[in-house]
Structure 1
């Protein structure tokens, strides 16, 4: 829905279907087929397709039963149809107990109900009995989604557990506590253009033209290149436009929320005055080229804004008079009901045990970030961890940078109540300017947390020869 907005009541953010069917499994299979045909990923279907427990009257109350109790989610069993009886001799007792098999003699089919997670051996047995390749592929897909659905409901968020709070970086700016953002670090919230030179040093007007002379002799038309004395110089002062007219036009076109109008008008006036002192440029030339001039002025203001933000950022966070702190007034908390992950999702064989949400966004099943995630998942001190999303409104933890926001790779809640933020960097990036700025603000955030928060920029192997797991363990103490 293009204009849909998230509701406060989480139940209103879901789609509901009331189905009259012999069994949820059959309806779920048909719904799965349709959702995948519409372009949804298997992982999305597994994470969001749910059956709610019916009430005593046999109906399902969409928004909670009497007394305000939240309906519990049940693991969805899987029913598949096979042309022949599967060979069960080589399966262990645990796999056999997960199966309920009946024979539909009228339709000459074997109906198999799978309860609980299907092991690799059980999956291969059922796929083998499916017959032709298209049927085998369909059964394999249904088994994958079935297992993913079970894993999804095992996640802490699906059990309505909570994740620790993360204080955001704040500072006292003019005696008021404010959240530090690129928009708030400019003095008084405005860019003072008059502190910067009103000069367009690289502005050039390059006009090339060919002038032609066209003659009519009766019904015949002829043309040729015009002689120099026949060409009109359009840059001569022939326009009835004043310097103030051009300044007013620039003021209207360059108007920006963080620039005071009186400053913009004076800055434009100084800039025009400087340009008019340049050889081969007069007012007519500038008016005729006012759009290239406008682009150059906007670019210059953008350059000065970035400079001002960087200077303000350094002064606000790291200056001698900086008043940085973490406050309970500005806190971020991951909601168990809101993790708008987008494909590609993690789909590797390694089963993460402590990820807070049922899906993991943008994590390949190999590589350095994957190894970092495995190291985090294996630490006994970690209660839960989250693959942090990037630029997702109300669903991402971030720290301020001079011109942007920093979204660390992993956020962890430790069993002792502390919060750990992990940013992973490959050797090629660990020492560049971007990483230096991120490391500085991460360390500042942790330093001002009163030992409630920890930050680390992990690498594959540090100068002491420690791997990622050892680096984190050393930080945890």
Structure 2
């Protein structure tokens, strides 16, 4: 279990960046103490500082020693600071950083920590480096994601991780973090590219009307604790927030943006069950539609994923089960390139258009260009091997080794030469040639994926199965829509308060209304595409995220993919994998694909 989502804050001033990170860690430590008092679990939140590397030409760089001096200047005891970079290897001296006797709360590094180092207490990344690269994310941010004891905490602030980055551009930094999580940290299978979201305003005007929250649960914390926590908010936020001790409610003036919501989460980190209250207040102040479902009584909404048995072990079914990597592209026939590659101006070369009065028109320039290109030499590409290597450098093929790709390209060029093309002509038109070869490789890849995917079902259908270890759990923490639903219809059975990525009209909306009103549906959820914590099934070329997932009153799970009539016939792969998932569940899961507003398909599937 990992700490998600990542709460990202950017600041152009490095001292403010560090200060915000220190404040965050202090709030998390208060939450950790309250958690320990309630559950007995010991947690000591740690910050990982990423400093800049030293440079003889730039003495102003924020190196590890400057960061350490800044921390000690804030009266942080030296024994709480560990440095692990260059000749300083403090982590090697610590036998068990998770021990209650270990004082370390701050670790400073530059690019990477010691191999195999693991500490679930690392909650905060504070980077003052000049950029957030995929390597930085892989080596450092990845260290703050693992959850202590792999178990959700009572306080929501302890279920998340935090990043404070020195940057003037939030969106660029968020994009770098997402790319780093996917490419650098190896989270591509979980599709976490969108787990870091921009914290800017949602675009609503700052209205003066106050919005009142739901009551904070009586067993959450004493009134004095809540009042004291609110005093930690920045003055600009304090001016908009008030607390009614008698009603135990928060009042917020105007539309709350995401950054303010996150600040309130941190300020009230020591108060259990408060995040739900803040999130509902955030939705209310922005006029986002929320579900009327009773949250206190909700059962766990766990959805089995499709598994595939490989070498006796049941694994999550994915591309690796029907695609052997790396792909031996060199074993494919490149002959089709002869019909695909065309010289761009061959149809007009040698033609001159002349008007009735004898004037030469612009086509003469095309002939002249062709004639000149015929005498231009490409000395750098005077061999097939050199031209092939150049073409390969411009193609992205993560599933193919370079030798295999180059050998295929060599065969493609040789096929063109055998068809009458001169090597010098191919070299002069190298960009068009690379485009044609790249398109051919993409088509061959698609044929391979589809063929091997189809073969898997005909030969190994009995290998599909499910177990309790392969499942996703829908919850508010991981449900992060790009665009919350803001329509007038009030849904009463949506599992999370916010309904995500649903337009307020149209056929999919009508399907959602049908599910919400169905007597055999206990709860349903709008399944979000390409989000961690969403339900998906593997297709030949991509993952498939059904539009809706429902928990039925009898405990079964129903997945619904709605398709317009014009698209239905082309979605055979989705129907097949849905049926395989249903069959592997042995009656626990159902799948259907209604179309043309024929929602009786849902009734027939449920039975």
How would you bin the TM-score normalised by the shorter chain? 0.5 to 0.7
Query: 1:57 Cα shift?
Result: 6.1
**Quick one: which of 210, 232, 241 aligns to 2:382?**
241
Higher Cα radius of gyration: 1
Unaligned runs of 5+ in 1: 16-34, 64-72, 81-141, 211-223, 463-467
- Please report the TM-score for the alignment, with normalisation by the length of structure 1: 0.62
Query: 1:424 Cα shift?
Result: 1.9
CA deviation digits over 1:80-138, x for unaligned, max 9?
9xxxxxxxxxxxxxxxxxxxxxxxxxxxxxxxxxxxxxxxxxxxxxxxxxxxxxxxxxx
Number of the residue aligned with 1:413: 551
**Could you tell me how far apart the structure 2 residues matched to 1:255 and 1:314 are?**
26
CA deviation digits over 1:430-477, x for unaligned, max 9?
3x212x221111111101101110111123565xxxxx2x43333223
CA deviation digits over 1:402-447, x for unaligned, max 9?
11222111111122221111122233333x212x221111111101
CA deviation digits over 1:340-395, x for unaligned, max 9?
123251421x3221111112123344433333222212223222110111222x13
Query: 1:310 Cα shift?
Result: 0.5
**Could you tell me how far apart the structure 2 residues matched to 1:265 and 1:197 are?**
14
Is it true that 1:390 corresponds to 2:529 in the alignment? yes
**Could you tell me how far apart the structure 2 residues matched to 1:262 and 1:360 are?**
49
Query: 1:249 Cα shift?
Result: 3.0
Alpha-carbon spacing, 1:2–1:197, altered in 2? closer, same or farther (3 Å):
farther
Residue-pair matches, total: 358
**Could you tell me how far apart the structure 2 residues matched to 1:57 and 1:175 are?**
56
1:349-368 to 2 correspondence within 5 Å? Answer: 350-368=489-507
Alpha-carbon spacing, 1:38–1:449, altered in 2? closer, same or farther (3 Å):
closer
Number of the residue aligned with 1:290: 430
For the 8 Å contact 2:527–2:547, the answer to whether it is kept is yes
Is it true that 1:11 corresponds to 2:148 in the alignment? no
**Could you tell me how far apart the structure 1 residues matched to 2:210 and 2:590 are?**
34
For the 8 Å contact 1:419–1:454, the answer to whether it is kept is yes
Query: 1:289 Cα shift?
Result: 2.1
**Could you tell me how far apart the structure 1 residues matched to 2:523 and 2:529 are?**
19
**Could you tell me how far apart the structure 1 residues matched to 2:546 and 2:504 are?**
19
For the 8 Å contact 1:235–1:285, the answer to whether it is kept is no
For the 8 Å contact 1:46–1:148, the answer to whether it is kept is no
For the 8 Å contact 1:399–1:407, the answer to whether it is kept is yes
Number of the residue aligned with 1:347: 487
Number of the residue aligned with 1:439: 575
Number of the residue aligned with 2:476: 336
**Could you tell me how far apart the structure 2 residues matched to 1:461 and 1:268 are?**
49
Alpha-carbon spacing, 1:442–1:240, altered in 2? closer, same or farther (3 Å):
closer
**Could you tell me how far apart the structure 1 residues matched to 2:329 and 2:580 are?**
30
- Please report the TM-score for the alignment, with normalisation by the length of structure 2: 0.50
Number of the residue aligned with 1:114: none
Query: 1:49 Cα shift?
Result: 6.9
Number of the residue aligned with 2:132: none
**Quick one: which of 305, 313, 326 aligns to 2:466?**
326
1:333 alignment partner, SS class: strand
Alpha-carbon spacing, 1:339–1:240, altered in 2? closer, same or farther (3 Å):
closer
**Could you tell me how far apart the structure 1 residues matched to 2:211 and 2:442 are?**
44
Number of the residue aligned with 1:455: 591
**Could you tell me how far apart the structure 1 residues matched to 2:200 and 2:382 are?**
63
**Could you tell me how far apart the structure 2 residues matched to 1:46 and 1:185 are?**
55
Query: 1:324 Cα shift?
Result: 1.9
Number of the residue aligned with 2:341: 203
Query: 1:56 Cα shift?
Result: 3.3
Unaligned runs of 5+ in 2: 1-7, 11-124, 126-140, 148-152, 163-198, 231-246, 255-280, 351-363
Query: 1:254 Cα shift?
Result: 3.5
Alpha-carbon spacing, 1:453–1:342, altered in 2? closer, same or farther (3 Å):
same
Alpha-carbon spacing, 1:446–1:254, altered in 2? closer, same or farther (3 Å):
same
Alpha-carbon spacing, 1:364–1:289, altered in 2? closer, same or farther (3 Å):
closer
For the 8 Å contact 1:76–1:146, the answer to whether it is kept is no
**Could you tell me how far apart the structure 1 residues matched to 2:510 and 2:577 are?**
25
**Could you tell me how far apart the structure 1 residues matched to 2:601 and 2:368 are?**
79
1:451 alignment partner, SS class: coil
Alpha-carbon spacing, 1:351–1:253, altered in 2? closer, same or farther (3 Å):
closer
Number of the residue aligned with 2:80: none
Number of the residue aligned with 1:376: 515
For the 8 Å contact 1:397–1:407, the answer to whether it is kept is yes
For the 8 Å contact 2:472–2:533, the answer to whether it is kept is no
CA RMSD, 1 decimal: 4.4
CA deviation digits over 1:130-160, x for unaligned, max 9?
xxxxxxxxxxxx9x947969x8485455x48
For the 8 Å contact 1:399–1:405, the answer to whether it is kept is yes
Number of the residue aligned with 1:98: none
**Could you tell me how far apart the structure 2 residues matched to 1:270 and 1:37 are?**
55
Query: 1:235 Cα shift?
Result: 5.9
CA deviation digits over 1:18-38, x for unaligned, max 9?
xxxxxxxxxxxxxxxxx9976
CA deviation digits over 1:233-278, x for unaligned, max 9?
4267977722222233334444622113332232122112111112
